[in-house]
């Protein structure tokens, strides 16, 4: 098999060396490592197709991999086989400035696309997730990621205009407008086949190209932070700010470190504009929307010095990366609970109860998705990977949080395998059966990332 893979991608792009397989066996999260048998780095869709056909021939699992930053172990090859690292497929194929979309290969990173647009299309931007720049644009969209423009435009999966996919049986197909037209402008008005590949964690095929929406980049950008000391206010604060339609992005953070932050909720509001007048106007509208809280002395805006502003305006914020390693030892994972915003207080209190009981380090980081249609409530637990007790504490906190999220009516995002099973247990029986049928129909040999979304 190694020889056959070499023939497809070339010797330098395939490995079965233990030290390289080790790297591909885990991510910074708590899930235990699982080694692949081979790692390949294809350069073209044709190579991906050949790899999938080969895997079918040998009935060997195939696991597609983007940036490997899900933190929940989604690209660990649970049943061994071939990890297909997409990083060499990193061409930005097209940017349609007027229709505001880009067509990219699946290995293009957030950093590369952002830098490319900054240089060549300064009036366009992507919705950047708060992940390191090596995160993959395609993988992030396919796992329903969210980012700096999600408050306006929704999940990154909703920004997908179309895709090219190598199906588990090796056929290549296009979905979205690009299946009919040379333009990758939309998924409408066709049957929405993109849904067969979004949220499936690579269980239904390997996406090789993606059409992704781009958005206007404004000349001015500012940040405001509204501080409260009562979590029951926060959902209303978010509702009011979202109602103004003046904010580009709304996030909330609450954490015990630094000490001055403990006990407070910080609603961070990003505002963009094309003129100073527009910026001032928008900020005034937002302030007025929260004036009841200010007058009642229950909430107020933090005074941000230029240095503080610069830190909060970073995209992505380097501070988040520093927090991720606060325990040292490189362990970090979170439950990203997708919840109605109205459940903020319940979610917050439940999170505090868990962290206090289990004694784990923590931070809550929340991003509003849609005009407060829902939120991604991240319960983040850094840990030291060299300390097994610390890992176990974090693992337990994650498991309990996943359960609590489902109990309160939410759904864990990019769920690790145990959490996927919790979700499936709570799922409507008809939906469970449909998932199973879709997988069996598309992947008759069961080779695509098996172990994920496994319906018994």
Our CB check for another protein shows the closer of 255 and 445 to be: 255
What string marks each residue from 290 to 319 as x (binds another protein by CB under 8 A) or -?
Answer: -x-xxx-xxxxxxx-xxx------------
Least distance to another protein from the beta carbon of 262, Å?
Answer: 8
Least distance to another protein from the beta carbon of 270, Å?
Answer: 19
Least distance to another protein from the beta carbon of 399, Å?
Answer: 33
> Which element (helix H / strand E) includes 337?
strand 330-339
Task: Classify 408 as helix, strand or coil.
Answer: coil
Q: Quick check: 219 binds another protein (CB under 8 A)?
A: no
Our CB check for another protein shows the closer of 121 and 301 to be: 301
Residues 428-445 as b/e (b if ≥16 CB within 10 A, e otherwise) read eeeebeebeebbeebbee
Counting residues that bind another protein (by CB under 8 A) gives 24
Binding segment toward another protein, per CB under 8 A, in 75-83, 130-138, 283-291, 365-373: 283-291
Our CB check for another protein shows the closer of 131 and 234 to be: 234
What string marks each residue from 112 to 151 as x (binds another protein by CB under 8 A) or -?
Answer: ----------------------------------------
Q: C-alpha angle with apex 193: 189 to 199, nearest 5 degrees? A: 125
Least distance to another protein from the beta carbon of 301, Å?
Answer: 7
Strands 172-176 vs 160-166: parallel, antiparallel or unpaired? antiparallel
Closest Cα to residue 261, out of 192, 362, 126?
Answer: 362
Our CB check for another protein shows the closer of 182 and 307 to be: 307
Our CB check for another protein shows the closer of 98 and 295 to be: 295
Binding segment toward another protein, per CB under 8 A, in 127-135, 221-229, 321-329, 383-391: 221-229
Least distance to another protein from the beta carbon of 347, Å?
Answer: 20
Our CB check for another protein shows the closer of 352 and 424 to be: 352
Strands 206-213 vs 265-273: parallel, antiparallel or unpaired? unpaired
**Encoded tokens for 247:** 């904010």
Binding segment toward another protein, per CB under 8 A, in 108-116, 185-193, 234-242, 255-263: 255-263
Our CB check for another protein shows the closer of 201 and 293 to be: 293
**Encoded tokens for 203:** 């269980």
Residues 274-283 as b/e (b if ≥16 CB within 10 A, e otherwise) read eeeebbeebb
Give the distance from CA 189 to its chain's centroid.
Answer: 26
Closest Cα to residue 229, out of 285, 286, 269, 267?
Answer: 267
Give dist(CA 325, CA 30) in Å, integer.
14
Q: C-alpha angle with apex 310: 307 to 311, nearest 5 degrees? A: 90
Least distance to another protein from the beta carbon of 220, Å?
Answer: 13
Least distance to another protein from the beta carbon of 315, Å?
Answer: 20
Binding segment toward another protein, per CB under 8 A, in 14-22, 93-101, 181-189, 257-265: 257-265
**Encoded tokens for 13:** 């792009």
Sheet with 363-369, strands from edge to edge, namely: 299-301, 220-228, 265-273, 249-254, 363-369, 374-384, 330-339, 411-413
Least distance to another protein from the beta carbon of 248, Å?
Answer: 21
Closest Cα to residue 290, out of 352, 226, 334, 367?
Answer: 226
Our CB check for another protein shows the closer of 37 and 345 to be: 345
Question: Exactly one of 260, 322, 430, 456 binds another protein (CB under 8 A); which one?
Answer: 260
Q: What are phi and psi of 131, to 5 degrees?
A: -130, 165
Our CB check for another protein shows the closer of 32 and 300 to be: 300
Binding segment toward another protein, per CB under 8 A, in 22-30, 83-91, 179-187, 254-262: 254-262
Give dist(CA 139, CA 206) in Å, integer.
10
Least distance to another protein from the beta carbon of 439, Å?
Answer: 49
Residues 6+ away with beta carbon under 8 Å from 306: none
Give dist(CA 250, CA 307) in Å, integer.
20
Residues 6+ away with beta carbon under 8 Å from 25: 33, 34, 35, 36, 76
Site for another protein in 262-281 (CB under 8 A): 262, 264
Least distance to another protein from the beta carbon of 278, Å?
Answer: 16
**Encoded tokens for 392:** 């176990």
Least distance to another protein from the beta carbon of 160, Å?
Answer: 40
Interaction site with another protein (CB under 8 A): 227-229, 259-262, 264, 284, 287, 291, 293-295, 297-303, 305-307
């Amino acid at each position: 098999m190694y020889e056959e893979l070499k023939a497809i991608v070339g010797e330098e792009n395939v490995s079965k060396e233990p030290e390289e397989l080790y790297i591909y066996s885990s991510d910074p999260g708590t899930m235990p490592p699982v080694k692949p048998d081979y790692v390949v780095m294809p350069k073209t869709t044709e190579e991906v197709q050949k790899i999938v056909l080969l895997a079918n021939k040998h009935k060997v699992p195939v696991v597609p991999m983007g940036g490997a930053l899900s933190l929940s172990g989604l690209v660990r090859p649970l049943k061994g086989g071939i990890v297909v690292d997409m990083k060499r497929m990193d061409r930005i194929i097209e940017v349609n400035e007027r229709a505001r979309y880009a067509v990219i290969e699946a290995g293009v990173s957030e950093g590369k696309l952002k830098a490319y647009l900054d240089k060549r299309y300064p009036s366009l931007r992507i919705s950047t997730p708060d992940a390191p720049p090596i995160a993959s644009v395609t993988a992030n969209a396919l796992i329903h990621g969210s980012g700096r423009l999600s408050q306006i435009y929704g999940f990154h999966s909703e920004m997908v205009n179309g895709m090219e996919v190598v199906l588990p049986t090796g056929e290549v197909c296009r979905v979205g407008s690009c299946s009919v037209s040379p333009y990758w402008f939309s998924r409408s008005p066709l049957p929405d086949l993109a849904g067969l590949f979004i949220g499936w964690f690579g269980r239904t095929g390997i996406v090789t190209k993606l059409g992704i929406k781009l958005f206007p980049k404004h000349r001015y950008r500012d940040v405001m932070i509204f501080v409260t000391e009562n979590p029951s206010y926060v959902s209303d604060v978010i509702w009011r700010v979202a109602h103004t339609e003046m904010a580009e992005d709304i996030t909330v953070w609450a954490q015990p470190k630094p000490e001055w932050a403990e006990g407070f909720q910080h609603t961070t509001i990003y505002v963009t504009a094309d003129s100073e007048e527009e910026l001032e106007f928008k900020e005034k509208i937002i302030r007025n929307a929260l004036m009841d809280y200010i007058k009642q002395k229950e909430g107020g805006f933090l005074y941000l010095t230029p240095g503080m502003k610069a830190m909060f305006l970073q995209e992505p914020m380097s501070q988040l990366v520093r927090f991720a390693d606060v325990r040292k030892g490189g362990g970090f994972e979170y439950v990203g609970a997708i919840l109605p915003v109205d459940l903020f207080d319940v979610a917050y209190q439940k999170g505090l109860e868990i962290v206090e009981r289990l004694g784990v380090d923590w931070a809550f980081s929340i991003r509003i998705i849609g005009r407060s249609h829902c939120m991604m409530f991240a319960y983040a637990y850094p840990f030291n990977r060299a300390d097994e007790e610390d890992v176990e504490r974090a693992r337990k906190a994650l498991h309990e949080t996943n359960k609590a999220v489902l109990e309160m009516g939410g759904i864990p995002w990019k769920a690790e395998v145990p959490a996927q099973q919790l979700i499936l247990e709570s799922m409507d029986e008809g939906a469970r059966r449909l998932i199973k049928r879709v997988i069996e129909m598309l992947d008759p040999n069961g080779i695509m990332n098996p172990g994920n979304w496994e319906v018994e």
